[in-house]
A and B are shown apart, each in its own frame.
Chain A
Amino acid sequence: AQSVSQHNHHVILSEAASLELGCNYSYGGTVNLFWYVQYPGQHLQLLLKYFSGDPLVKGIKGFEAEFIKSKFSFNLRKPSVQWSDTAEYFCAVLLYNQGGKLIFGQGTELSVKP
Chain B
Amino acid sequence: NAGVTQTPKFRVLKTGQSMTLLCAQDMNHEYMYWYRQDPGMGLRLIHYSVGEGTTAKGEVPDGYNVSRLKKQNFLLGLESAAPSQTSVYFCASSYGADPYYEQYFGPGTRLTVT
Interface set of A (CB-CB < 8 Å, partner B): 4, 6, 9, 32, 42-46, 49, 51, 90, 92, 94, 96-107
Q: Determine whether the beta carbon of A43 is less than 8 Å from that of B108.
A: yes
Q: In the complex, what residues of B have CB within 8 A of residue A46's CB?
A: 102-103
Interface size class of B (residues with CB under 8 A): 20 to 34
Given A101-B58, A103-B59, A104-B42, 13 new contacts (CB under 8 A): A9-B40, A42-B107, A43-B90, A43-B105, A44-B92, A45-B105, A51-B100, A92-B43, A100-B98, A101-B33, A102-B33, A103-B45, A104-B44
Q: In the complex, what residues of A have CB within 8 A of residue B50's CB?
A: 99-100
Q: In the complex, what residues of B have CB within 8 A of residue A4's CB?
A: 42
- 18 A–B pairs (Cβ distance < 8 Å), ordered by A: A4-B42, A6-B42, A32-B99, A43-B90, A43-B105, A43-B108, A49-B99, A51-B100, A94-B97, A96-B99, A100-B97, A101-B58, A102-B33, A104-B42, A105-B42, A106-B41, A106-B42, A107-B40
Q: State in angstroms the CA–CA spacing of A106 and B97 once bound together.
A: 22
Smallest CB gap from A4: residue in B: B42
